[in-house]
A = this chain, B = another copy of it.
């Protein structure tokens, strides 16, 4: 038995599991802040990290700690109805729920014994506990000849359009980065793969930051229906499916 403790945590703007990018790097617009607690965030421990373009984040799938693992899983990439072995997947339900993601290093803010590292392309639930960060070493980690079974290439991205109301709501909040983030997330089609109800009328909902985002998918195109402050008065979000 080994005991590990968090050296930091991630502020990602994804408060719910539903909709989070399924691998690091799929949504470059998904920026996050990795907070290093004292004493791990002191300037000395980070000296030289800024010379790397990417870093590994080793973390705990903290929302999965209480659920046990199953020998097989149904990855979304296989349509959600074919089972493969747990160790042939990157599922969060593992005997030791440790995750690792390669992310872009966008900036480092350091003060006293703490630091905030800006990262891009993350796939983290808000509040994710961090166990370690390591530089991404291209010569050891980027294996050009690797081939990847059922998941050799990134999934296709869907085109994303915004309703006039959703577009206006984004514009009231900032000058474009929120809209880019929503478009990046939904282009990866976060709908549950095993959802039998998939049709053009189904409205899906997810939370991004403190917002409730609703969309539908028709003929391979995503349309963002609404972007509104969460919680809305009359429509609580229910695990991805809007009521």
Cβ B85 vs Cβ A2 within 8 A: no
Cβ A148 vs Cβ B154 within 8 A: no
Known pairs A141-B102, A149-B135, A150-B48; A3 contacts B3 (CB<8 A): yes
Q: How far is the CA of A106 from the CA of B30 in the complex (A)?
A: 36
A102-131 residues with Cβ-Cβ distance < 8 A to B are: 102, 129, 131
CB distance from A131 to the nearest CB of B (A): 5
A44 at the interface (CB under 8 A from B): yes
CB distance from A46 to the nearest CB of B (A): 5
Count contacts on A: residues with CB < 8 A to the other chain. 71
Candidates B23, B44, B96, B140; contact of A137 at CB < 8 Å: B23
Candidates B7, B49, B71, B146; contact of A44 at CB < 8 Å: B71
Q: How far is the CA of A152 from the CA of B54 in the complex (A)?
A: 12
CB distance from A188 to the nearest CB of B (A): 12
Most chain B CB atoms below 10 A, which of A6, A45, A101, A154:
A45
A193 at the interface (CB under 8 A from B): no
Q: How far is the CA of A97 from the CA of B188 in the complex (A)?
A: 34
B-chain residues with CB within 8 Å of residue A83 when the two chains form the complex: 47
Cβ B138 vs Cβ A4 within 8 A: no
Could you list some 14 contacts between A and B, CB below 8 A? Answer: A2-B4, A2-B6, A2-B129, A4-B96, A39-B71, A44-B72, A46-B85, A47-B83, A48-B84, A52-B146, A54-B146, A56-B100, A87-B135, A138-B152
Query: Apart from A4-B98, A25-B139, A102-B141, what are 17 other A-B pairs with CB-CB below 8 Å?
Result: A2-B4, A4-B96, A5-B96, A43-B85, A49-B85, A49-B149, A53-B147, A87-B135, A88-B135, A89-B135, A100-B100, A101-B140, A135-B149, A137-B148, A138-B152, A141-B141, A141-B142
Interface residues of A (CB under 8 A from B): 1-7, 23-26, 39-40, 42-49, 51-54, 56, 58, 60, 65, 71-72, 83-90, 94-96, 98, 100-102, 129, 131-154
